[in-house]
Amino acid sequence: MPPRRLRWTLMALALSTLPSFSCAAPPRAEEGTPARPLVPPRIVAIGDIHGDLMAAQQALRLAGATDRRDRWVGGDLVVVQTGDLLDRGDEEKEILDLFSRLQDEARRGGGAVHLLNGNHELMNSYLDFRYVTDHGLEEFKGMVRVNPSDSLLATLEPQERLRGALFRPGGPMALELSKRPTALVIGPNVFVHGGVLPYHVEMGLDSMNAHVRSWLRNEAPQPEWIRGDLSPVWTRVYSDEPDVAACDTLALVLDSLGVQRMVVGHTVKRTGITSFCGGRVWCIDVGMSAYYQGRLEVLEIRGDVVRSLR
């Protein structure tokens, strides 16, 4: 096997020359969250929550988004949560309800809350429930009726069928996830759970978001690149101690998108929010959930000033 740096160089070259992936359904760039909303004076990015309501509440308060009653007080603040609200914890529904309400309150207050899909959201929609707690399999009771003759649900364990009916493409929760982008550009920042690769730039971020959206709506097949090393929600190219070749790939992507930095979650940083590649990528998954027992920390961006809040 070639050395790690050579492997990343070869990957960068291969990815940069891949053709755009076509999906059965045409992209709908006008729907959902646009890839490039207006630039706010202040952005706070929040990493992986994993079913921990208290972590979500504390992170939002630390960001200056909410008060102690969990009401929006952020004004024109923009919050970006980079995915993985789901799995590993027991309070998923409460967290989803909280963020849904805050999206409405923020909009009325002149701000915004953007939720991205992480690998754990999309895992639930391709019916991979390995990281769902026992409570998580029961938490959404009453939201959907399970059809006993459904051949797809019949392939699941009996205790998984309720969740399967909710999160399968076209199901109520999958339709909610379809409203979220996979990657989002705000001013000089691109936000994504795992990372944007040259392949995704070639495809176009709006097109990539639209392909995922169409799959979640059950309007098109699952994109082949949503799993594995080419996935924007699975790759760790920029978050797992990137070497020079990985940083070169990052620079290629950022320059192609016309942005300065990338903000990612997905890879737990036990020492807190970490930047690599001369501050061009910021890794904000600090394992703040009860499952990981990490520190509470969020990322604040004010123009060119980027810093962690603890």
**Residue numbers annotated as active site:** 120
Q: For strand 78-81 and strand 112-115, is the pairing parallel, antiparallel, or unpaired?
A: parallel
Which residue in 41, 308, 63 sits closest to 187, CA to CA? Answer: 41
* Phi, psi dihedral angles at 28 (to 5 degrees): -120, 75
Nearest to 194 by CA among 215, 178, 208: 208
In angstroms, the Cα distances linking 69 to 51, 72, 96, 250 are 19, 9, 16, 40
281-283 sheet: strands from edge to edge = 183-186, 189-192, 261-264, 281-283, 274-276
- Cβ-proximal residues to 158 (8 Å cutoff; 6+ apart), any chain: none
For every residue of 185-218, DSSP letters joined together read EETTEEEESS---HHHHHH-HHHHHHHHHHHHTT
Check if the beta carbon of residue 139 is closer than 8 Å to that of residue 93: yes
Give Cβ neighbours of residue 22 (< 8 Å, ≥ 6 apart): none
The angle formed by the CA atoms of residues 136, 33 and 310, to the nearest 5 degrees, is 65
DSSP string, 234-256: T--TTTS---HHHHHHHHHHHHH
| 232 touches 196 (CB < 8 A) | yes
3-state secondary structure (DSSP) of residue 257:
helix
- According to DSSP, residue 19 is labeled P
